Structure 1
Amino acid sequence: MSATHDAKTPARRGSTPGPAPETMITARGLVRTYGSGRTAVHALRGVDLDVPRGELVAVRGRSGAGKTTLLNLVGGLDRPDSGSVLLDGAELTGMGEKQLSALWRERIGFVFQSFGLVPVLTAAENVGVPLRLRRTPWREREERVRLLLEMVGLGDHAEQRPGELSGGQQQRVAVARALANRPALLIADEPTGQLDAETRAAVTELLRAVVAGEGVTVLVATHDDGLIAAADRVLELRDGLITEEGPR
């Protein structure tokens, strides 16, 4: 069953009824198989997916269900065997490497379970990396980094390196870095998977704040019940297909 959002779908939490929101992500017929023959793994078997703009959407499913595969296809990090992905109306599946690189710099931010920070750089320098790649002027870059670190509650930790920060603080730096270039879409793969309960709750609150404050659409794969409860809608990945449980 497609996870399509239409005018009959109840309004998301805290909103008033009205027209269906614009769609940020549209995926149709996504198929991805790894290997061949008896050892083939059919991660996705024809997934249809619609993600409205400005929502936090959680994808859940058992380990190995294909959640990471789905996020990689939506973010252009991998290509489907068949099917298509549109981001804000632009088709990713036909893009070349240069087009995808520009998309990652300007439109999509990624957050991973392993944080992915550069150990020798400070928190501020890690957040500033995407801005340096875009050759953002120094003053503008410094101001954006300062605002982001304050937003994630780490304004006083700008000069600390990842090894001097807790896991939760590192993940918040990773979120700030992903937001540096004001992406339209934030893709997060198990962002709370390595965190304790208190820190998971803090990162969940941060992701909700990102949707409200930065106007970002967030697509997250997770097993975290707290993050699932905070989502505007929850999608279940089962047997290589998406089914919608509906708005929270």
Structure 2
Amino acid sequence: MSNEPLVVVEGLRKVYRSGPNEVVALREVSFELFPGELVAVRGRSGSGKTTLLNQIGGLDRPDAGRVVVAGHEVTAMSEESLLGLRRDVLGFVFQSFGLIPVLSAAENVGVPMRLVRMPVAEREERIGMLLALVGLEQHVNQRPYELSGGQRQRVAIARSLANRPRLLIADEPTGQLDSQTGRQIMELLRALVRSEGVTALVATHDPSLITLADRVLEISDGAVREAALA
């Protein structure tokens, strides 16, 4: 594991306002993530997990503080630069899978590669490799409605790795899955961190999945602290 952090979060603060009411979603949050580690963010629903992940992924901007990913100061980038960062450096996995219903598993995985105009032969080879990596080589031509929830999330994970991201951000990736399938998905993420050399930040409230992480960040009322592994 490298001594240089891939992600640096410093003094992150985010406040949501509705009329006279304020909700502090993040309170001066600071931490680092290093290459090749799987870090879980644990906290109750509404504790600020999604807000934190959105700041790191450049999907939202903080009121104070900064985020640096792979040498890029995310919090100071233009929208155009953020698009490039999300395309080339980041991979996202969501609870809702986010697959395109009319496309097959292979076509869904190929979408990010088409956006960067990857040559057809290289794209087809990588699609096959990624679907094999997540155990779906027998399901390349099936559409999302023909797949189980666990299989759909595997397709989503394969798609998130399409353009060789350095940081994988997963927001409750097992939230719609039963406990056994959820653990299989978390084990897959851990294996991919090892085999692909990617760093993964995974938000979850499932205690059984926390044991698979290298480190755990506990978030409560917007404040983050390092938690002991179970």
Q: Tell me if both proteins adopt one fold, taking TM over 0.5 as the criterion.
A: yes
Among 12, 32, 40, the residue aligned to 1:50: 32
Q: Which structure 2 residues correspond to residues 57-96 of structure 1 after superposition, within 5 A?
A: 57-96=39-78
What secondary structure, in the 3-state scheme, does the structure 2 residue paired with 1:142 have? helix
Q: Distance in 2 between matches of 1:125 and 1:36?
A: 41
Q: What amino acid sits opposite 2:180 in the alignment?
A: E
What secondary structure, in the 3-state scheme, does the structure 2 residue paired with 1:227 have? helix
Does residue 167 (structure 1) correspond to residue 182 (structure 2)? The answer is: no
Q: Which residue of 1 aligns with 2:171?
A: 189
Q: CA deviation at 1:36?
A: 4.5
Q: Distance in 1 between matches of 2:126 and 2:21?
A: 48
Q: CA deviation at 1:22?
A: 2.2
Does residue 24 (structure 1) correspond to residue 2 (structure 2)? The answer is: no
* Contact preservation (8 Å) 2:211, 2:229: no
Q: CA deviation at 1:88?
A: 1.7
Does residue 155 (structure 1) correspond to residue 137 (structure 2)? The answer is: yes
What secondary structure, in the 3-state scheme, does the structure 2 residue paired with 1:93 have? helix
Q: Which structure 2 residues correspond to residues 122-137 of structure 1 after superposition, within 5 A?
A: 122-137=104-119
Q: Which residue of 2 aligns with 1:216?
A: 198
Q: Distance in 2 between matches of 1:217 and 1:160?
A: 29
* Contact preservation (8 Å) 1:235, 1:244: yes
Alpha carbons of structure 1 residues 20 and 106: separation in structure 2 relative to 1, 3 Å: closer
Q: CA deviation at 1:120?
A: 0.1
Q: CA deviation at 1:157?
A: 0.2
For the aligned residues, what is the CA RMSD? Answer: 1.3
Q: What amino acid sits opposite 2:37 in the alignment?
A: E
Deviation readout 1:74-117 (Å, 9 max, x if unpaired): 00000001110000222011101111111111000000000000
* Contact preservation (8 Å) 2:87, 2:112: yes
Q: Which residue of 2 aligns with 1:236?
A: 218
Does residue 200 (structure 1) correspond to residue 153 (structure 2)? The answer is: no
Does residue 141 (structure 1) correspond to residue 84 (structure 2)? The answer is: no
Among 117, 120, 123, the residue aligned to 2:102: 120
Q: Which residue of 2 aligns with 1:5?
A: none
* Contact preservation (8 Å) 1:35, 1:41: yes
Structure 1 spans left out of the alignment, 5+ residues: 1-18
Q: What amino acid sits opposite 2:35 in the alignment?
A: R
Higher mean C-alpha displacement, 34-43 vs 203-212: 34-43
Structure 2 spans left out of the alignment, 5+ residues: none
Q: CA deviation at 1:224?
A: 1.7
Among 91, 102, 106, the residue aligned to 2:88: 106
Identity fraction in percent: 61
Q: Distance in 1 between matches of 2:81 and 2:208?
A: 36
Q: CA deviation at 1:21?
A: 2.9
Q: What amino acid sits opposite 2:104 in the alignment?
A: T
Count residues with an aligned counterpart: 230
Q: Distance in 1 between matches of 2:99 and 2:149?
A: 11
* Contact preservation (8 Å) 2:169, 2:200: yes
